[in-house]
Amino acid sequence: MSERRGLALLLAPYLLGLTVLIALPALVTFGLALFEYDLITSPEWAGLANFRELWGDDIFRRSIRNSLMFIAAAVPLRLLGALLLALLLHRQFRGVSAYRTAAYLPTVIPDVAFALLMLWVFNPLYGPLNIALDAAGAPTPQWLTDPHDARWAIVLMSLFQIGEGFIVALAVRQSLPGDLYELAEIEGAHAGYLFARVTLPLMAPALLLLLFRDTIFSFQANFVPALLIFDGGPPPYATTYLPLFVYTNAFEYLRYGYAATATLVMFGITAAIVLAQWRILRRWRVASSAA
């Protein structure tokens, strides 16, 4: 068997899965957005009616606003968390493997188990978070009942599941040549200068990739906790994010065409945000490299 053929054979299962599970449903979604379909009766041509309805849907607007607010708060914090953990744990010291494992572990916990665990953590009466806050004399938010606090609870939850970003940032930090840092030590660069002028710019390409990836990921990441812990509430729709809106319309109201339309809009918003980030950061990189 030729090498090319062997490689193609190895790639085949992945390509098959990609086609059947991702590419085809994505194509179907494009078509479905133009129909009204409830899985029981035949699809009914709707043209752009779903888009028009979506435009006037107040719950949809709320879910977009919730999703954008979540991304604005969670993505920078998640990225910062991954970077700080990588900077803290890139050196070799006693017990570092245990710390790295602890940083990664919440990411591999199944979403449902994690959500149930956090339901206990956020409990206003016996949850450890509010007990600790109370002991420290800090205000105790009503995580499960107050709309504002509930949104922050979801952001807080997402900050524990940054293992993948942490691993990438750790690998990138470890790949930076040690002699650059030794040289900087001899040349008298203090830690802040070194971070701003050397570490951050050298890690920037990977951090940018993480930023794009996390933006895309964050649109979907809050689905399970929003559904299991808050069921889209507390009222009025405080944690109804775009994925939950799509889910509710598709599987509770059996409006597959409408859900497909919302999915396309979600896809469009994600692409627009990533494109905007890319353009801004490209300008920033050009400016900073010329300085």
Partner 1 sequence: MAGLQLVGVEKTFGEVQILRGLDLEVEEGELLVVLGPSGSGKSTTLRIAAGLEEPSAGTVHIGGRDVTHVPASRRNVAMVFQSFALFPHFDAARNIGFGLSARGVKRDDVDRRVQAAAELVGVGDLLHRRPHELSGGERQGVALARALAREPEVFLLDEPLSNLDAQLRTRTRAELKRLHGELGRTMVYVTHDQVEALTLGDRIAVLERGLAAQVGTPDDVYRRPADRFVASFVGSPTMNFLPPDAAARFGLGGDGEIGVRPEHVRLGEGEVEGEVVIVEPAGSEAFVHVDAGGPWLVARVQPEELPEVGRRVRIGIRPGDAHRFDAEGKRITGHQ
- List contacts with partner 1 (CB under 8 A): 177, 179-180, 182-190, 193, 197-198, 201-202, 289
- Cα–Cα distance measured from residue 112 to residue 227, given in angstroms and rounded to the nearest whole number: 10
Q: Which is nearer to partner 1, 56 or 188 (CB)?
A: 188
Token pair belonging to 46: 């709707």
The SS3 assignment for 92 reads coil
How far apart are CB 167 and partner 1 at their closest, in Å? 23
- Cα–Cα distance measured from residue 238 to residue 228, given in angstroms and rounded to the nearest whole number: 14
CB atoms < 10 A from the CB of 7, how many?
11
How far apart are CB 288 and partner 1 at their closest, in Å? 9
Block residue for tokens 């979604």: 29
How far apart are CB 212 and partner 1 at their closest, in Å? 20
Q: Which is nearer to partner 1, 15 or 286 (CB)?
A: 286
How far apart are CB 236 and partner 1 at their closest, in Å? 49
How far apart are CB 201 and partner 1 at their closest, in Å? 5
Q: Which is nearer to partner 1, 182 or 231 (CB)?
A: 182
Query: Comparing C-alpha atoms, which of 270, 151, 276, 281 is closest to residue 214?
Result: 270
Q: What are phi and psi of 206, to 5 degrees?
A: -70, -40
- C-alpha Rg value of the chain to the nearest Å: 23
Q: Which is nearer to partner 1, 206 or 246 (CB)?
A: 206
Q: Which is nearer to partner 1, 44 or 182 (CB)?
A: 182
